[in-house]
C-alpha cells in the first residue's frame, strides 16, 4: 500500500461502487453516509436514497479510479464530523476523530476549504470562546504539495465565503 499526499482533498471511489473516500494525509478515508457527505461537502454529488450520484470531476465531483486500491486506508470520517468555528475567532475547523477523542483540525485557508470541496454554508458557529475549548488540536488540513495557496482564479461567490475569505486574509 502507498500513501499519496499529492491527492489530498480529492474525493475518490472505485468504478461501479458507491463508497466515497476523501483523500487526507495521503490516505483514503471512507465517508460513511450521505448525511456525513452533505454535512461537509458542496453538494455537487447528490445523495439519492443512501447512495450518491457522482458528478464529473471537472465540476468538483468524485473521481472514479480503480488505482485507489493501492492507496492506504486511513480512519473513516466519523459520523460526528462537522465544520465549525468559535464565535470569537474566524478560523474554521473540521471536528474529526471518534468520541470521546475528537480533535479539531484547522482548515488553513479559504483555498484549502475550496480545494477539499468543503461547504461554506455548513460551518456551525459554536457559542464559546476558542480559549475555553477542551478539544485537542489535530493535524491541520492543508493543500497538497505543489498546490498554490491562493490561486488567481479564486473568487468568493457567497456572502459567507466572502466574509470568511476576508477574515482569513486579515489573519495572514
Give the residue extent of every domain in the chain. 5-70, 82-171
Nearest CA-CA partner of 130 in 166, 100, 164, 93: 93
Give the contacts of 34 (CB within 8 A, at least 6 positions apart): 47, 48, 50, 51, 52
Residue range 116-137, pLDDT digits in tens = 989 999 999 999 888 888 899 9
* Closest residue by Cα to residue 149 from 114, 106, 120, 104: 114
In terms of Cα–Cα distance, which of 120, 113, 88, 93 is closest to 104? 93
The band of 157, judged by pLDDT with boundaries at 50, 70 and 90, is low
pLDDT the model gives residue 71: 93
Predicted pLDDT of residue 162: 63
Predicted local confidence at residue 148, as pLDDT: 52
Q: Read off the pLDDT of each residue in 86-100 and give the average, rounded to a whole number.
A: 91
> What is the reported pTM?
0.75
Distances (CA, A) of 66 to 15, 71, 140, 150: 6, 10, 28, 31
C-alpha cell at 94: 473540521
Amino acid at each position: 500500500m502507498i500513501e499519496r499526499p499529492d491527492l489530498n482533498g480529492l474525493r475518490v471511489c472505485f468504478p461501479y461502487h458507491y463508497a466515497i473516500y476523501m483523500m487526507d494525509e495521503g490516505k483514503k478515508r471512507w465517508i460513511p453516509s450521505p448525511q456525513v457527505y452533505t454535512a461537509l461537502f458542496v453538494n455537487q454529488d447528490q445523495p439519492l436514497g443512501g447512495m450518491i450520484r457522482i458528478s464529473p470531476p471537472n465540476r468538483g465531483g468524485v473521481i472514479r479510479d480503480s488505482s485507489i486500491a493501492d492507496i492506504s486506508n486511513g480512519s473513516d470520517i466519523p459520523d460526528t464530523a462537522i465544520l465549525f468555528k468559535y464565535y470569537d475567532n474566524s478560523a474554521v475547523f473540521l471536528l474529526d476523530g471518534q468520541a470521546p477523542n475528537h480533535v479539531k483540525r484547522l482548515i488553513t485557508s479559504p483555498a484549502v476549504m475550496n480545494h477539499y470541496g468543503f461547504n461554506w454554508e455548513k460551518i456551525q458557529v459554536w457559542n464559546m470562546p476558542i480559549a475555553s475549548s477542551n478539544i485537542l488540536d489535530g493535524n491541520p488540513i492543508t493543500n497538497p504539495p505543489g498546490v498554490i495557496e491562493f490561486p488567481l482564479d479564486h473568487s468568493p461567490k457567497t456572502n459567507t465565503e466572502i466574509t470568511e475569505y476576508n477574515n482569513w486574509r486579515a489573519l495572514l
